[in-house]
A and B are shown apart, each in its own frame.
Chain A
Amino acid sequence: MQITLNGHCKEVTDNTTVAELLTSLGLDPTRVAIELNQQVISRERFGDTLINAGDSIEIVQFVGGG
């Protein structure tokens, strides 16, 4: 199925959770924050939050800033 990840189209397997998506991308879940369709997903819910076709996901991390 197709989702939008950080503004780009991305193909992921059906029934993928947020946690599984992070693993497949090589991202440490403790380093990032996630929005699913503009709603923040808390870290405790990464494992049981399923991604659906057409979902829009934002994965952000801290960078230097003033």
Chain B
Amino acid sequence: MDRLTIAGREFSSRLMVGTGKFSSNAAMQAAIEASGSEIVTVALRRVDIENLQDDMLAHIDREKYLLLPNTSGARDADEAVRLARLARAAGCEPWVKLEVTPDPYYLLPDPIETLKAAEILVKDGFTVLPYINADPVLAKHLQEAGTATVMPLGAPIGTNKGVRTRDQIGIIIEQALVPVVVDAGLGAPSHAAEAMEMGADAVLVNTALAVARDPAAMSIAFRKGVEAGREAFLAGLGSEKIKAEASSPLTGFLRDE
């Protein structure tokens, strides 16, 4: 596959994977491995002092994967900026998947707080990958603020509904000067393929892998979906027609006309 470039850094995979909701660290590790991904998202949370947990990072090869910390849980720009800075202090490269989701029911991103946080983090030297609703105008503002990508949602996080924001994502792709990563809501490899066929530069998948009966096998299926979609986009898809257009010749029938 042709390579993906984000903020001057090249990747051969166009599938990013999340690490949440897996039944075990071993299942997560197997899924990451099978996905062929090079970018892996993680979250930051308070340490439970009374009940210390295993270090999940021990299961991710930092030489092989770029760790992309998210700011999940942030309800406003201030909390997102604090989380990004904490992630950097914890030893991550200054890359951040910026998420500001004040609404716990649909987890839809707050556009105003996301833009505010993006402006602060870009000035602070971060490579910012903002999670947004599929809003082309917001995508432009973020791009102008200097974000490295835009990450419009296909559907709310964890819903497995697919690319429900298709038309809006199409406009974002048409206008984007930075890579477009479709993030959230992709529940099946066909959804990932659809986003890639439309010309998305990459997709990010978590829940669909983590909740599969066999997460590693599902990762392989998603990898193939992403590759198929990308190859179809590059090959040039035929345009939609309203009326039938025969594939076989319309002459030489066994009848006299």
Q: Which residues of A contact B8 (CB under 8 A)?
A: none
**Least CB distance, B186 to chain A, in whole angstroms:** 11
Q: Give chain A interface residues in 21-39, CB to chain B under 8 Å.
A: 25-28, 30-35, 38
- Cα distance A38–B87 in the bound complex, in angstroms: 14
The answer, yes or no, to whether B4 is at the interface (CB within 8 Å) is no
B3 in the interface, Cβ–Cβ < 8 Å? Answer: no
Closest chain-A Cβ to B78's Cβ sits at a distance in Å of 9
Instruction: Label chain B's interface by main secondary structure.
Output: mixed
Whether A65 and B43, one on each chain, are in contact in the complex, defined by CB atoms closer than 8 angstroms, is: yes
Q: Across the two chains, which residue of chain B brings its CB closest to A32? A: B47
Looking at chain B, what size class is its interface with the partner chain?
35 or more
In the complex, how many angstroms separate the beta carbon of A37 from the nearest chain B beta carbon? 12
**B199-226: contact bitstring with A at CB < 8 Å (1 yes, 0 no)?**
0000010110000000000000000000
Q: Write the B24-49 contact mask toward A (1 if CB under 8 angstroms, else 0).
A: 00001000000000000111111101
CA separation between A10 and B206, bound complex, in Å?
Answer: 36
Partner of A65, one of B42, B57, B89: B42
Contact code string B62-74 (vs A, CB < 8 Å = 1, else 0): 0000010110100
B105 to chain A: closest CB distance in Å?
17
CB of B86 within 8 Å of the partner chain: yes
B52 interfacial by beta-carbon distance below 8 Å: yes
Q: What mask results when residues 4 to 15 of chain A are scored 1 for a CB within 8 Å of chain B, else 0? A: 011110000000
In the complex, residue of chain A having the shortest beta-carbon distance to the beta carbon of B73: A65
CA distance A37 to B47 in the complex (A): 17
* A59 within 8 A of partner (CB): yes
Cβ-defined contact, B20 with A66, below 8 A: yes
- Residues on A close to B: CB < 8 A? 5-8, 25-28, 30-35, 38, 40-43, 58-66
Q: 10 closest A-B pairs (Cβ-Cβ)?
A: A65-B43, A66-B18, A66-B206, A33-B90, A64-B19, A33-B86, A64-B20, A33-B89, A6-B46, A65-B20
Residues of B within 8 A of A (CB): 18-22, 28, 41-47, 49, 52-53, 55-57, 67, 69-70, 72, 82, 85-91, 157-158, 184, 204, 206-207
Please name 13 further chain A to chain B contacts, defined as beta carbons within 8 Å, in addition to the given A33-B87, A61-B55, A66-B204, sorted by A numbering: A26-B52, A28-B55, A34-B86, A40-B82, A41-B89, A60-B46, A60-B90, A61-B47, A65-B19, A65-B20, A65-B70, A66-B19, A66-B207
